[in-house]
Chain A
Amino acid sequence: MNRMSDEGGIYKKMATYDKRWVYLALFAIVLYSLIRPIGMPIGISAQTKAYKTELDTLQEGDLVFSTWNMEFSGYMELKPGVLATHKIFIEKGVKLCIAFGHFEGVALPPEIFKQLKKWTDDYDYTEGEDYVIIGYVFPNEAAVAALAQDFHANVRVDWKGQSIEGTFLDEIQNAGDFDMISDYTTGLATTNLINHVVLQYGVPMVVNSIGVSVPGHLANLDAGLITALLASTRGGAELEFLINSPGPGLKSMDAFTFGHYSLIIFIIIGNIGHYGWTRRSGARERTGIR
């Protein structure tokens, strides 16, 4: 038994390292980078530039349906993109109709508008006049389709129970009256919005998606179903850079970079160990450890 465990030596240790080393390294790197940010340069992707260009097409008074289809946890990843995009909306003076597709969304408006207070104060952007929060909209196909077809049959009050009559939402009869859909998503309702708003009424839709959903949305982007895509925290940080308004995204980019590099280092260590161990001793076949 001892002989077997000794076989492979350093290579075996490298190939079969304890996963807790990964946890520890990642935790230490992320924590240190957040406490002591270096402010490393970042590259701006063409995708984020295209997203910014799409937002720049909006004019003052345009109606944007901002759908916060995320849990509070997902918001932590999308926060930079949410804040940077809404700063653009406020600066441009577009009218925002805000809905959320998760019950935790109730916690989002106070948190987000607290972060945007400087912008709402500077541009005198007020609830009821410039933006209305209609609150929770069931994120399933039937509810999204119904809302898209007859807005006022499904929404009569805002999230505080006050009537939406007399607000700019009077102009909305169906989803085709919106000038843009701005979706922030962990996966809730986005496909339904594409099916019932984009395909049915031809409203342009931009998406800020969490990292794991990006490959799926790339296909939508390529097919023209969405007009622009902002990818995860990194996309948000790039947008912060483009609008010259540093926020949580740029602050987290050091941790983001070092986190990725640490993962790459662990992959390299594992592969060197795997190669050396299998080549030198053939222990994998004898021990059955793969």
Chain B
Amino acid sequence: MSSFFKSRSAQITVLIVSFLLVFVPYFIPWGPLDWLSGKLMTIAAVTNAFTIVIAVYSQFRRSGRFINERRKGWVYHIYLLALMAIMTLSGFIFGQHAGAYEWLLLAVVTPLSSVIYGILAFYMSSAGARAFRARSPQSALLLIAGFVVLMYQAPLTGAFFPGIEGAATYLTDTFGMSVSRMFSISVSIGAIVLGVRMLTGKEVAFLGFGEGDE
């Protein structure tokens, strides 16, 4: 029995049935099917919540290997595991609204999170300042477009030169948006192709199978 559930065809069958249960109600609204689809999605949502346990377990295993083999940066992994243990235990023991957990969150996690985010602004500014060079006619065009949008993004500019909004909006609404749409469409088509490959059994790595495995 267990070998049946481990087989490739059984798992793909489960995948196809689950897919149809969620997919079909979008096109055929029928009460029982909607109900079944909703239940399946709730089960998936609850199951997903438990994946955090797998994530914690995987991190402990990975960091454990780093520490055992004394790989570069192994000390940081001890630090990481200690902090993970402290946060997890304080949350479980005292609860998320208790002083200990809230203090760790508000005094340690959130300021560090904000600092990392703040530092990004420096990296982005520096990279932008040094990358925007008119090395060719194409990059000169990019530079001009970037210059207009940057000027518009500075709030003072709009107050003195209201016309800059039109120029910047033109650039973002035409060139910027077309690129954005192209990206979205590419990702969506890629996802559909991947989905079809998974449903037809051509992509089985996500089930833990290699090529030719049954």
Contact = CB atoms under 8 A, between A and B. Distances in A.
A289 interface: no
Interface stretch (A5-13, A86-94, A264-272): A264-272
A74 B38 CA distance: 32
Given A45-B158, A257-B154, A145 B117 contact: no
Contacts of B116: 73
B180 A219 contact: yes
Contacts of B37: 149
A274 B122 contact: no
Nearest to B151: A264
A172 to B, nearest CB: 14
Nearest to A275: B134
Interface stretch (B6-14, B75-83, B169-177): B169-177
Interface string B98-133: 000010011001100110111001100110111011
Contact of A19 (B42, B130, B147): B130
A40 B156 CA distance: 7
A107 interface: yes
B204 interface: no
Interface stretch (B44-52, B59-67, B192-200): B44-52
A123 interface: no
A45 B162 CA distance: 9
B167 interface: no
A142 B51 CA distance: 13
Contact of B117 (A73, A106, A110, A140): A73
A237 B155 contact: yes
A149 to B, nearest CB: 4
A170 interface: no
Interface in A33-73: 40-46, 71-73
A26 B128 CA distance: 13
A26 B109 contact: no
B147 A264 contact: yes
Contacts of B158: 42-45
A168 interface: no
Contact of B113 (A72, A143, A150): A72
Contacts of B153: 234, 260
Size category of the A interface is: 35 or more
A36 to B, nearest CB: 16
Contacts, number: 170
Interface string B17-42: 00000100010000000100111011
B58 interface: no
A264 B125 CA distance: 10
Interface string B155-190: 111111010010001001100110111011000000
Given A71-B113, A138-B48, A107 B156 contact: no
Contact of A23 (B117, B126, B179): B126
A267 B126 contact: no
A1 interface: no
Contacts of A154: 42, 45
B45 A138 contact: yes
Contacts of B180: 215-216, 218-219
A150 B150 contact: no
A274 B22 CA distance: 57
B150 A218 contact: no
Nearest to B121: A26
A259 B125 contact: yes
B145 interface: no
B173 A260 contact: no
B59 to A, nearest CB: 14
B177 A267 contact: no
A263 B97 contact: no
Interface of B: 22, 26, 34, 37-39, 41-42, 44-45, 48-49, 96-97, 102, 105-106, 109-110, 113-114, 116-118, 121-122, 125-126, 128-130, 132-135, 143, 146-147, 150-151, 153-160, 162, 165, 169, 172-173, 176-177, 179-181, 183-184
Given A41-B156, A46-B169, A72-B114, 5 more contacts: A42-B156, A149-B34, A234-B155, A259-B121, A270-B130
Interface of A: 15, 19, 22-23, 26-27, 40-46, 71-74, 76-77, 104, 106-107, 110, 138, 140, 142-143, 145-147, 149-150, 153-154, 160, 200, 215-216, 218-219, 222, 234, 237-238, 253, 256-257, 259-264, 266-267, 270-271, 274-275, 290
